[in-house]
Structure 1
Amino acid sequence: MRRMLRATLASHGYDAVEARNAAEGLALTRAQRPEVVLLDLGLPDRDGLELMRELRSWATAPIIVISARGREQDKVAALDEGADDYLTKPFGTAELLARVRVALRHAAERDATSDSLIEVGPITIDRARHEVRRSGALVHLTPIEHRLLVALARSAGRVLTHRQLLLEVWGPDAATQTHYLRVYMTHLRRKLETDPARPQWLLNEPGVGYRMREA
């Protein structure tokens, strides 16, 4: 797998740094500061989720999990721990390269803006003014609706789990209160979608969470 990844990435202009285990990966990430991390959960010396938890405490690079663990709960656990994407083995090289491009694009977009102004399709969020507009028209949102929308818009194209959203918007005491999300997503869709029953921008990922469609 490492040989295949190294050859594929090199042939498309990427400079790949390779680690055989979690200890090497942690050391190389600290030393090299890679732009994107490809992480296998089945490591010989440590569970990949534990390593990701440690990386996420200080590293900001996108993390793409590559794993044979294809169960929904494994994907949710990885996303909750900070993965930006999850690729299940076996996979094609074209899909891998597409995921890497998306991760790098999202990272570049985050670096290019202070997030004071976020635009996704017809929706514009001016965080400095605490204003939201849809196709130029001002939309009134409550503080919680605003925080939820910002969380989704900042990660447009990426699935955010129920737990991630609950922790970011409501805090640790609400980590299991998924009904909060259902209620407030309904409110946001009524205010921002042309047809709330058939949302085009605020999308549900059944059993996992929500994502805002990337423009």
Structure 2
Amino acid sequence: MPILLAAGLVLGLLSLTMLLLIFNYGQLWFQAYWSKAPIRFMELLGMSLRKVNARTIVQAGIMATQAGVGRDITAQRLEAHYLAGGDVPRVIRALIVAHRADLDLDFDRACAIDLAGRDVLDAVQTSVNPKVIDCPDSAGGKSTLSAVARNGVELKIRARVTVRTNLQQLIGGATEETIIARVGEGIITSIGSAESHFDVMEHPDKISKAVLQRGLDAQTAFQIVSI
């Protein structure tokens, strides 16, 4: 009798545990299953033991699968990026934007960009839709550049630089500040070589072309589109 009682107690505890697990993870598993996301029920249990937010992983897997970018993105890879401190949902959204824009960006590269401290989604969006940065940056306290032509006349200049992200050089590439500094230096040098300030005022596009030809975006995280 005591043996039967103990066995019944053990079975009861096991049944209760199974019910709790199904209650906690059953809905997530069904969501993944019906969305064809490659996530197994046992993987969800493993996530709980490793203190991984299973809902975040499932939702990311579903997003990737439905957008057509999740063929090689397994639960293990998503979990590994999560455990490394990465922003899993943001990486997946970046991959979706890149996929729709036909950009060359895979999951490993996106994760590396994210773990390097760069905003991978913003980087992809800027690659698709170039942004404009001011030169000089007014946040630094200066609103114009100062340059002197050969005839001794000083000009005050402000430039607007259109850039798009260079995803291949985003890790380790120089930031916006470098672009602003290089463009500013290039403009000052070009104006300084002009015979007269009238040449600059009448043909400002010559200054822009001269600066663009210098390849000032080399080793930076951006590609200069126009000045």
* TM-score, length of structure 1 as denominator length: 0.29
Could you say which structure has the higher strand fraction?
1
Larger Cα-atom Rg: 2
* TM-score, length of structure 2 as denominator length: 0.28
